[in-house]
Chain A
Amino acid sequence: NAGVTQTPKFRILKIGQSMTLQCTQDMNHNYMYWYRQDPGMGLKLIYYSVGAGITDKGEVPNGYNVSRSTTEDFPLRLELAAPSQTSVYFCASSSHGQGLYGYTFGSGTRLTVV
Chain B
Amino acid sequence: GENVEQHPSTLSVQEGDSAVIKCTYSDSASNYFPWYKQELGKRPQLIIDIRSNVGEKKDQRIAVTLNKTAKHFSLHITETQPEDSAVYFCAATHSRLSGTYKYIFGTGTRLKVLA
* A positions within 8 Å CB-CB of B: 31, 33, 35, 41-45, 48, 50, 56, 58, 90, 94, 96, 101-103, 105-108
Q: Report yes or no: B105 in contact with A43, Cβ–Cβ below 8 A.
A: yes
Name the CB-closest residue of B to A95.
B101
Does A103 lie within 8 Å of B46, measured CB to CB?
A: yes
In the complex, what residues of B have CB within 8 A of residue A43's CB? Answer: 44, 89, 103, 105
The B contact surface, by secondary structure, is strand
| Residue among B45, B93, B101 facing the most chain A CB atoms (10 A cut-off) | B101
B102 contacts A102, C-beta separation under 8 Å:
no
Do the beta carbons of A45 and B102 come within 8 Å of each other? yes
User: Residues of A contacting B44 with CB < 8 Å?
Assistant: 43, 90, 103, 105
Q: Is the CB of B99 within 8 A of A42?
A: no
* B43 interface residue per 8 A CB criterion: yes
- Flag if A105 contacts B105 (CB, 8 Å): no
A96→B99 contact, CB < 8 A: yes
Residues of B within 8 Å of A101, CB to CB, are: 32, 34, 49, 51, 93, 101
Sample (17) of A-B pairs whose CB atoms are under 8 Å apart = A31-B101, A33-B103, A35-B105, A41-B107, A42-B6, A42-B105, A42-B108, A43-B103, A43-B105, A56-B100, A90-B44, A94-B101, A101-B32, A101-B34, A101-B93, A101-B101, A103-B36
